[in-house]
Structure 1
Amino acid sequence: MVSGGQQQEEAHVAVLAFPFGTHAAPLHALARGLAAAAPLVWFSFFNSAKSNASLLQGGDAPPNLKFYDVSDGLTAGFAVNPRNPEEEIELFMQVTPGNFRDGIEKAVRSASGASISCVVSDAFLWFAGDLAREMGAGVPWVPLWTGGIRSLSAHIYTDALRTIVGVGEEGGAVMATKADTELGFLPGMSGTRVRDLPEGIVFGNLSSVFARLLHRMGQELPLATAVVLNTFDVLDPAINDDLRAKFKACHLVGPLNLLLPPPQHPELDSDPSGCLRWLDKLPRGAVAYVSFGTVMSPPPGELAELAEGLESCGAPFLWSLKEKLRARLPAGFLERTQARGLVVAWAPQPLVLAHPATGAFMTHCGWNSVMESLAGGVPMVCRPFLGDQRLNARTVASLWRVGVEFEAGKMTRDGVVGALGAVLGSEEGRKMRERACALGEAAREAVQQGGSSAEALQAVVKVICGSGDA
């Protein structure tokens, strides 16, 4: 357990979550860790009811961490419009920051009138800095960036990128003429290209709610008391140094899945589908694990190509696939591959990636998944879809060299066979695993007592307790 030194009994920290995708989980982990380290401080966690329910399934929070539901802006019976996947975010942003103000007022009353002494938030919620200032002079704002730091750097440099690269109508012209332009003019970004950037920076809909939110975030983060990053020192040292120069203070506390692992609940079965028992029967490094996270899924055509590739490659595979998507698999696929394949609705991913039988991870390259794969020393086969996933995939395959990407960015039968063959059965694949294992070992050293990430978390505790400099 870390210690924050002298703590103020009346300290009260507001924690503001972004309730979409996998954003809330890392912030929840950070809040749990801070609350455990500062038991005399009140922590109030504000999130949508739906997201809070997901975080709290079967778990106990520290006694000084309380959860509050805030309005998500949705009406009763709301259904997601598949043609406008950002609609939920748009509706949520329409009721912010008023929903958080309402929640904070309730939390202050519940905490015996203890006013807010610090605001911790998801970095997306740039207005949290304004809320902190409203709470009083000197109230710190501490945002957590949950994604990869290359994408954070891109958001910080959005105006420079738009000036240097330029933008076309809806950004489309940029992709046609400058997609392969390298970003070496930005610190630490050599080897990445314009095409790898998240949408909304120089291509895509630059005026969407999400693009404008991230642009404003990049302008506001340098004003924060301290910025917390879910990474560790050795991954991207040049970008780490640049961000430290941009921010008042910058604390690298990752990987959060190692530093602050989820609580264990002995009464719950952590492996209801029997994935780990199935892996126990297979040779070391032989299995391809396939999962594209809880939000994304491949287009129907690619899903079928992926299935055909898994059937043709000959390697044992574990595939985490939602039940509703199984109808899109080729006829007879499950029956033909049941001797060496296991398809489940959910898998305990960190445990699967830590299992010695897992030799490759086919992933969308969400940052949490990348961190978990490195922690397990497992090379990746990358099929990114949106946001920072392309930058993460480029970093994994071309810069860290612990994985491969698909040609033209899409899965085909032959592409799946070739990618898995390269990772599981080649000399270069063996070297990928060695490099991944080395990064995993560095990650474990960072989170041990005295390690860089553990020390960084102590620094964050001191900020939120008001007992130290940022």
Structure 2
Amino acid sequence: MAGSEDSPAGKHVAVFTFPFASHVAPLLSLVRRIAAASPATMFSFFSSEKSNLTRFPGGRRDATCPNLVAYDVWDGAPEGYVPSGRNPVEPVEIFLRVVPGNFESVLHAAERERGRKITCLLTDAFYWFAADMAQERSVPWVPVWTASPCALLAHLETDSIRQIFGTSGMTLDAIPGLSAMRMMDMMKEVLDETAPFPTMLYRMGQVLPQAAAVVANSFENIDPIVEGELRSKLRKVLDVGPFVLSPPPPLSDEHGCIPWLDEQETASVVYVSFGSVIRPPPHEITAIVKALDKTASPFLWSYRGDAKAEIPRELLESATGTRGKVVPWAPQLHVLGHRAVGAFVTHSGWNSVLESMIGGVPMVGRPFFGDQSMNARAVEAVWQIGVAVEGGAFTEEATAVALERVLAGEEGKRIRERVGALKEMALGAVEPQGSSTRNFDALVEIVTG
């Protein structure tokens, strides 16, 4: 029995992931750090079979952490299921129908196989049911929040936001920490009281105050007002981010992005990327290409899809030439840290916002869903380290104007100074005596102590 490796009385941490979008990778990275810091503690990592196959290609054992083992939980889909494509959250809704039973059954199996009872639940914050599971077992529950702090605050303030919305309120200035936000920036999930995914988020906001600590992919003093509100509502908040800096990823540059950037002038290149999920509609892609051509900006575009088939050939050839480079993937953190990059055209996902801060690069935001609108608003109105595309969608004129604002003139200079200050704060947080490092040590103590 695997549990014979250590005393049955030792520590055993169960990790529950939300196996969709960008949730798994940051949680797995954090767990590997904790596992390395506490090698005598067992970690059992629960995710869907599809997710685990991509994260543990060599089998259930982790190559870098011998005390970490992966377990498959049922995703709820019947055999032969193929998503219809009509509803992008359909797989999520199917999955939510079978929680928490799918986790409970595999959790018992992991305890039997490894010979130790669970001593802590470390989960994606979405999993409201983990509060009851932890209470039943008399173990700490430590949820991990991977999105932005202001989005977390919005979920804790859902009832107040819905009340304001119900009276046709257009601003949230009555809610401390969210006063810069407008109702148009709010996540639609906060306002929806019926669908399964919004219901999950609402229940999460109700039970998070029960958690032993809430872990955040952020760093202290990034937004003191929001931080103060979160600390007043939650038992303990541990900012241990930016996750991507602990440790930073190794450079993998199969498409030659860095050598190409080496040939460009300082702060001249526009980097374009919309993450691993989002692709703007065709007319907006065309608008971006035309705007880049209009501003004569050199650009690097990490394009998810078939650029040659999806971008009009004459536009692509005109815009690229010797001035642009389109690749299927780019080492984003390293690209944003390069001296040649002067602007980042982004969907405003939280990981991308953090990576832009780390690189000291101003942003041009075009949000699509989730917390992206709140992030884009914070970038423009709270931190003032970028601008949102006017009208909320890419047009040639709006995109060109936004690029000019962040790349040139006094406004661009002030934006670069402010994002540079946040860069220093982020890098300082992960130093040996930095706030995120101290918070990580406190997290290890809670999880394995």
User: Normalised by the shorter chain, which TM-score bucket?
Assistant: over 0.9
The CA distance in 1 between the partners of 2:110 and 2:254, in whole Å, is 37
Greater length-normalized contact order (CA 8 Å, ≥ 6 residues apart):
1
Q: CA deviation at 1:185?
A: 1.3
The CA distance in 2 between the partners of 1:40 and 1:410, in whole Å, is 51
Corresponding position of 1:104: 107
Corresponding position of 2:298: 316
TM-score where L is the length of structure 2: 0.94
Corresponding position of 1:235: 222
Corresponding position of 1:73: 76
Q: Check conservation: 1:259, 1:454, Cα contact below 8 A.
A: no
Unaligned runs of 5+ in 2: 1-6
The CA distance in 1 between the partners of 2:24 and 2:193, in whole Å, is 25
Q: Check conservation: 2:343, 2:406, Cα contact below 8 A.
A: yes
Q: CA deviation at 1:463?
A: 0.5
After superposition, the CA RMSD in angstroms is: 1.8
The CA distance in 2 between the partners of 1:56 and 1:219, in whole Å, is 34
User: What secondary structure does 1:106 align onto?
Assistant: helix
The 3 A distance-change label for structure 1 pair 9 and 423 is: farther
Indicate whether 1:121 and 2:108 are aligned: no
2:322 counterpart letter in structure 1 = A
Corresponding position of 1:215: 202
Corresponding position of 2:3: none
| CA displacement 1:215-244 (0-9 Å, x = unmatched) | 110001011111111111111111111111
Q: Check conservation: 1:304, 1:328, Cα contact below 8 A.
A: no
The CA distance in 1 between the partners of 2:57 and 2:314, in whole Å, is 36
The CA distance in 2 between the partners of 1:302 and 1:291, in whole Å, is 13
Indicate whether 1:365 and 2:366 are aligned: no
Give runs of aligned pairs for residues 271-350 of structure 1, distance below 5 A: 271-324=253-306, 326-336=308-318, 337-350=320-333
Q: CA deviation at 1:25?
A: 1.2
Indicate whether 1:417 and 2:420 are aligned: no
The 3 A distance-change label for structure 1 pair 56 and 285 is: farther
TM-score where L is the length of structure 1: 0.90
Give runs of aligned pairs for residues 344-423 of structure 1, distance below 5 A: 344-423=327-406
1:200 to 185, 189, 198: 189
The 3 A distance-change label for structure 1 pair 209 and 416 is: same
| CA displacement 1:61-109 (0-9 Å, x = unmatched) | 3111111221112234433333211100011111211221222123223
Corresponding position of 2:446: 463
The 3 A distance-change label for structure 1 pair 426 and 81 is: farther
The CA distance in 1 between the partners of 2:81 and 2:335, in whole Å, is 35
Q: CA deviation at 1:326?
A: 4.2
The CA distance in 2 between the partners of 1:206 and 1:383, in whole Å, is 26
2:94 to 84, 91, 103: 91
2:417 counterpart letter in structure 1 = E
Give runs of aligned pairs for residues 36-55 of structure 1, distance below 5 A: 36-55=36-55
The CA distance in 1 between the partners of 2:253 and 2:401, in whole Å, is 30
The CA distance in 2 between the partners of 1:417 and 1:117, in whole Å, is 55
User: What secondary structure does 2:84 align onto?
Assistant: coil
The 3 A distance-change label for structure 1 pair 251 and 340 is: same
The CA distance in 1 between the partners of 2:297 and 2:45, in whole Å, is 44
1:201 counterpart letter in structure 2 = V
Matched residues, number: 439
Q: CA deviation at 1:9?
A: 6.6
2:177 counterpart letter in structure 1 = G
Q: Percent of aligned positions with the same letter in both sequences?
A: 46
User: What secondary structure does 2:364 align onto?
Assistant: strand
| CA displacement 1:10-65 (0-9 Å, x = unmatched) | 10000000011101111111101111111110011111122223334698331111
The CA distance in 2 between the partners of 1:388 and 1:339, in whole Å, is 36
Indicate whether 1:154 and 2:157 are aligned: no
The 3 A distance-change label for structure 1 pair 61 and 96 is: farther
Q: Check conservation: 1:73, 1:91, Cα contact below 8 A.
A: yes
Q: Check conservation: 1:48, 1:70, Cα contact below 8 A.
A: yes
The CA distance in 1 between the partners of 2:331 and 2:63, in whole Å, is 19
Q: CA deviation at 1:422?
A: 1.4
The CA distance in 1 between the partners of 2:351 and 2:79, in whole Å, is 32
2:125 counterpart letter in structure 1 = A
User: What secondary structure does 2:420 align onto?
Assistant: helix
